[in-house]
Structure 1
Amino acid sequence: MANDANRGRILCISFSDITSDSRVLRQLDVLAELGEVTTVGFGDKPAAATEHLAVDADLPSLPQTPLGVALLALRRFDTVEFMAPAVKAARALLKDRRFDVVVANEARAMALGHEVAHGAPVVADMHEWAPEERSHVRSWRLLVKPFMTHQCAKYLGKMTAVTTVNDSIAELYKQRFGVRPQIVRNAAAYRELSPTPVQDDRIRLVHSGGAVPGRNLETLIEAVRGLDERYTLDLYLVPGRDGGKYLGQLRALIDGDPRITLHPPVPSTEVPSTLNQYDVGIYSLPPLTPNHLYMLPNKIFDFVQARIAVVFGSAPETDRLITEHELGVIAPDASAKAMRETLAALDTEQVRRFKQNVDTAAKVLNSTEDAATLRAIVGDLLARTAR
């Protein structure tokens, strides 16, 4: 493994605002242990990076230009793979650089990662199931899904290692593309926190995440508006890239309800300590895509480290964790009615018991195992390149 005198050069590509991307931030913490890290992506320099090459956040990471869309429609995927404006900008920034290991986040970064590696090993962190990331949107399903499928078929076999978020999605990659990813969950780091007391006449609900259409946040608001005065809901939402339009829609839906409070987002490092004052973390997502069906979002791990109980809409991966560790209860579907009835059936003694179970589970449901997996993958590759 690279030592302090001769640390490896690692490139991390992510077409996201990395400082707000909790999965990539955890990834960078591990990479920074192993070498000097250059990041390429939107936004400011992440704290763990040695160097950051900033890409204009207004540039799309898919070929959403008139020519690009036409080529997608014509299935000219090899021609279009470097035509996304953000990819073109990142390619220009990286053309003369050399690295010992490249980490490409998500399918849209694989072609660039493979090219700029110049033969160095490339680790593809696919996050979730790339071909159907937004297949519930018609334009994505018709134009982008075939492109993503082509990229996976073309590049996954060229990657030195592949990671993804859970076993269900790893199995999809194995069945469709013949690769078996290693598992790196979205688990948060362990926090030294304790459950806060539950009031006899109050159940404090909370949700944190992105204010992005399709996240089913309307359902959470509608569910709580139909509950009695015991329930409050606090929302810590990261604005989407729509100029605040969706947040405005949520404010209108809340309509001044004094029990529902919309807060500014907090840094990802502060999420568990902020949520610790609440009782139950809630989340529900209709299974419109395989990623929705097989979700294992970072927020369930954030809730665990915050030492709060959980109520989630049913999904195989989260159901397994909730049931195994008795973290809370599962709504039978993603409707407001199911969430409302599930929450209404809770009593304070149940919530207290769940919070104690969560406190025990926090010792195992954290990022230690995931960091060790990534550390072993990248550390081994650096050791090989140093020989």
Structure 2
Amino acid sequence: MKKKIITSAFSNLYTDQRIEKVCGTLYENGYEVELIGNDWNGAEEMRRPYLFSRIHLASKSLKTAYFEFNWKLYHQLIKKADRNTILHANDVDALYPNYLIAKKLNIPLVFDSHEIFSEMPAIQGKMSQKLWRYVEKTVIPELTWMITASGSYGRWFEKKYGISPVVVQNAPRRLGFNIDIPQNNPKILLYQGAINPFRGIDKVILAMHHTENLLLKIAGDGPKKQEYEALVVSEKLQSKVEFLGKLKPEDLRKVTLTADCGMSIEENGGESYFYSLPNKVLDCIQARVPLILSNLPELQNIKNQFDVGELIKDHQPEHIAAAINKVLAKGRDHYQPELERASNMLCWENEEIKLLQVFQKASNAFGFKQ
């Protein structure tokens, strides 16, 4: 019988590229995939070759939305899961209902931790942090199959909970590179991703005072957007900083290809940030765009393996500008050989092999047949 996988996540699904790639790979390799998300923050129209649905959430606050989603997800899983099902939970905020149903039906559960959820900056010191730590402590040591998004995350979970996750980096699919590198005037520095605290965005805005003939483009949305827009105005940098808003993934890829320099200068906003390998790094590598990088473990590891950009000394605006100016002085052409080498290694085609091995082991252990 064809294996069924129910993938669930506290997500509106539309912009979650990791879940899209994972479900696509599983579907293309013969699994019957059903994806469950929610309509928190909207439910934009999307098409997928497999079944998907979004749980409607009536909650007005994120705190109550989590409880509502977990309650409704449990009841969805009760109806949809059977003895031929592998459950696939994405992040701790979808884990507990999957764990309960997996125990109830004695079926496999694969957990994908995109980050260290209990150590995210947004919940530091809050009651919700205690709740998510409780879920982690209760469920994760009981798991057999777990994947996570960086080697540093994997080592953290092993030390904390005694489980060794398989590392499946959130790399994009291999992008054949056959475009002419644009000769921008002014040059373009690109930030892409959520406009959240600890991303170094406010620091790079201030760094624009120390650059010439450069335009900073900020693609994304988030809780800090208005504050950073106001910072641009107060610093009189409107001619040097442009906010592009939230772009569709396919539109963002086109913008990335045009940049002279990307950036991933996350600050140490807690262990989830400290040990992360941000998507934007791997996206820029596939677009063959050099980066400025902060000195966090996974970013330093990339730089040690591949000369794809420059590390910033610290988050002082002058030092950020120095790294930007160094990249621009060398030019995008200079970094192409190393970016090409990195793009061949850090791509989804390599990562999905490890993903499929995990689901194959889960299938075999519960008597499923290919």
TM over 0.5: yes
- SS of the aligned residue for 1:125 comes to strand
Q: What CA distance in whole angstroms lies between the structure 2 residues aligned with 1:102 and 1:61?
A: 27
Superposition RMSD in Å: 2.5
CA distance in 1, matches of 2:81, 2:289: 45
Contact 1:8-1:35 at 8 Å conserved across structures:
yes
Alpha-carbon contact 1:187-1:365 (below 8 Å) kept: yes
Do residues 373 (structure 1) and 359 (structure 2) align? Answer: no
Aligned residue in 2 for 1:72: none
CA deviation string 1:11-42 (max 9, x = no partner): 11110121111221111112222322111112
Counterparts of 1:95 and 1:285, CA distance in 2: 40
Larger mean Cα displacement after TM superposition, 349-358 or 116-125 = 349-358
C-alpha spacing 1:154/1:21, structure 2 compared with 1 (3 Å): same
Preserved CA contact (<8 Å) 1:7 1:35: yes
Q: Secondary structure of the residue that 1:85 maps to in structure 2? A: helix
Whether 1:36 aligns to 2:17 is no
Determine which of 317, 321, 326 is the counterpart of 1:336. Answer: 317
Runs (5+) with no aligned partner, structure 1: 1-5, 66-82
CA distance in 2, matches of 1:319, 1:194: 28
Distance in 1 (alpha carbons) for counterparts of 2:46 and 2:74: 20
Q: Which residue identity is paired with 1:109?
A: A
Matched-pair contact (CA < 8 Å) for 1:196–1:277: no
Q: Secondary structure at the match of 1:386?
A: coil
CA contact (8 A) 2:274 2:297 kept: yes
Q: 2:90 aligns with which of 83, 105, 117?
A: 105
CA 1:153 to 1:186, structure 2 compared with 1: closer, same or farther past 3 Å? Answer: same
Q: Report Cα offsets for 1:281-337 as digits up to 9, x if no partner.
A: 012111120122112011101001111111112111111112321001000223433
Runs (4+) of structure 1 exceeding 6 A deviation are none
Cα distance change of structure 1 residues 126 and 60 upon mapping to structure 2, 3 Å threshold:
farther
Helix, strand or coil for the counterpart of 2:310? strand
Aligned equivalent of 2:99:
114
Alpha-carbon displacement from aligned partner over 1:350-380 (angstroms, at most 9, x marks no partner): 4321134213321111112211111111133
Distance 1:49 1:112 in 2: 25
CA gap of 1:8–1:339, structure 2 versus 1, over 3 A, is: same
The answer to whether structure 1 residue 298 and structure 2 residue 293 are counterparts is no
Is the 2:90–2:111 Cα contact (8 Å) retained in structure 1? yes
Aligned residue in 1 for 2:132: 148
Q: Which residue number corresponds to residue 173 of structure 2?
A: 189
Report the AA paired with residue 34 of structure 2: T
Correspondent of 1:86 among 69, 72, 81: 69
Q: Relative to structure 2, which stretch is displaced further, 301-310 or 29-38?
A: 29-38
Q: CA deviation at 1:220?
A: 2.0
The offset of 1:57, in angstroms, is 5.4
1:297 to 1:249, Cα distance in 2 relative to 1, 3 A:
same
State the one-letter code of the partner of 2:302: L
Match of 2:368 in 1: 386
For residues 42-61 of structure 1, what are the structure 2 equivalents within 5 Å? Answer: 42=38, 43=43, 47-48=47-48, 50-56=50-56, 59=59
User: 8 Å contact 1:32–1:48 — kept in the other structure?
Assistant: no
Deviation at 1:45, TM superposition (A): 7.0
**Unaligned residue ranges in structure 2 (runs of 5+):** none
Q: 1:60 to 1:160 in 2, by over 3 A?
A: farther
Structure 1 counterpart of 2:2, one-letter code: R
CA–CA distance in structure 1, aligned partners of residues 74 and 141 of structure 2: 22
Secondary structure in structure 2 of the residue aligned to 1:381: helix
> Aligned partners of 2:209 and 2:203: how far apart in 1?
10
- Shift of the 98–199 alpha-carbon distance from structure 1 to 2, 3 Å rule, reads closer
Within the alignment, does 1:123 sit opposite 2:136 as a pair? Answer: no
The 2-side partners of 1:45 and 1:115 are apart by 31
Q: Which residue of 2 aligns with 1:76?
A: none
Indicate which of 220, 227, 237 corresponds to 1:249: 227
The equivalent of 1:14 in structure 2 is 9
What is the rounded CA distance, in whole Å, between the counterparts of 1:24 and 1:270 in structure 2? Answer: 19
Deviation at 1:140, TM superposition (A): 3.8
SS at match of 1:18: coil
TM-score (norm 2): 0.87
The one-letter code of the counterpart of 1:215 is R
Q: Does structure 2 retain, via aligned residues, the 8 Å contact 1:272–1:305?
A: no
Q: TM-score, normalised by structure 1?
A: 0.84
Instruction: Specify the code of the residue in structure 2 equivalent to 1:27.
Output: V
Q: Is the 8 A contact 2:74 2:98 kept in 1?
A: no
User: What amino acid maps onto 1:172 in structure 2?
Assistant: W
